[in-house]
Amino acid sequence: MTTSATTVPSSAHRAGAPGGGAQAAGRQERRVGTGARRRWAMWWFVLPAALYVLAFFAVPVVNNITTSFREYTTATFYTGEAPFVGLANYVDVISSRTFGRTTLNTAVFTVVSLAATFVIGLALAVFFNAHFRLNSVLRSLVLLPWLLPLIISSAVWRRMMEGTSGVLNELLGLVGLGAVPWLTDPAVALYSVIIVNVWVGIPFVMVILYGGLQEIPRDLYEAASLDGATGLRAFRSITWPLLRPVVVIVLMLGFIYTVRVLDIVLALTGGGPAGASDTYATQAYQLSFRDFQFGTGAALSNILIVVTLLVAALQLRANRRANDLAG
């Protein structure tokens, strides 16, 4: 993810080739005359997007922040009154009986989902990096689960995890294992939701890591194999170090997507049974849109933003430091 670095080089190119001589200088002058105006004219291209981002990201976020300092009740919709209450909503959320469990659920959901998705996705990416017949057909078929609307995937999995008649329990029965109460047991529900989330996430992780693997020059492996480094050894000393920047991006995006997952939880368990699969995201939804406590809902979703940005920043920083160390 490059930001400043990407817009800067064009100014270098505008200055012309260093060795261009008088001709280049003349051309440069002609362009500089209109340059400033043209540069500002480019804002017309960006303006609609800038306004859109302002209206659909900045305004809601600011709105969410101000809401979190006010007391919203159902009556607010009639009276329009939402008194300022300072940090009371945050105190309410954090000191509520469910906050500890929701925090733990969010952490378990995110970490276990991400770890499992990453390991399976990486294994598949490495597998598909080899040449074999039907490779590209199979690889694009893997994408399907990721392209399906989450509600659809959740509905199908809910059918598969249903009581005793679900096919997952039938499969367990075939191998001589007992039925698992996937969605109704508080001890299992969160992991059932994780299974579905992992299934949804594998294609995304696989495709990005596969793209990263494809960028690694083949002759590195050839050279290494001359030195006797193949298999796991080659993976450790060539694949993993060269793949690391992509790994950081996958983990960061994966984290951002996972920590906010709502559809899967709502459709499979609704956060239940008894809050056993509630996360920050589902709880924020329920506070705002089911209990109409927009103030506390906003407070909790702001906590979610802070967590997200914090982890993303940490991951990017870890990557920068790792790159610095590597020279």
Restricting to residues 83-122, which ones interact with another protein according to CB under 8 A? none
Q: How far is the CB of 267 from another protein (least distance, A)?
A: 6
Amino acid at the residue 149: P
Candidate residues 134, 175, 325, 326; the one interacting with another protein per rule CB under 8 A = 134
Q: How far is the CB of 22 from another protein (least distance, A)?
A: 18
Q: How far is the CB of 103 from another protein (least distance, A)?
A: 16
Using CB under 8 A as the binding rule, whether residue 302 contacts another protein is answered as: yes
Per the listing, tokens 């996705």 go with 121
**Contact in structure between 274 and 186 (CB atoms under 8 Å):** yes
Candidate residues 19, 23, 165, 324; the one interacting with another protein per rule CB under 8 A = 165
Using CB under 8 A as the binding rule, whether residue 135 contacts another protein is answered as: yes
What is the Cα gyration radius of the chain?
Answer: 26
Using CB under 8 A as the binding rule, whether residue 218 contacts another protein is answered as: yes
- What are the counts of helices (DSSP H) followed by strands (DSSP E) for the chain? 19, 0
Q: What is the DSSP letter of 233?
A: H
Nearer to another protein, 88 or 262 (CB): 262
Size of the site for another protein (CB under 8 A): 119
Using CB under 8 A as the binding rule, whether residue 323 contacts another protein is answered as: no
CA 12 to chain centre: 34
Candidate residues 75, 148, 177, 322; the one interacting with another protein per rule CB under 8 A = 148
Contact string (CB under 8 A) for another protein, positions 239-278, x = contact: x------x--x---x--x--xx-xx--xx-----------
What contacts 55, CB < 8 A, 6 or more positions away? none
Nearer to another protein, 135 or 323 (CB): 135
With b meaning 16 or more CB within 10 Å and e meaning fewer, what string describes 189-205? bbebbbbbbbbbbbbbb
The dihedral over CA atoms of 114, 117, 123, 127, expressed in degrees to the nearest 10, equals: -140
Question: Could you give the CA distance from residue 195 to residue 201 in angstroms, rounded to a whole number?
Answer: 10
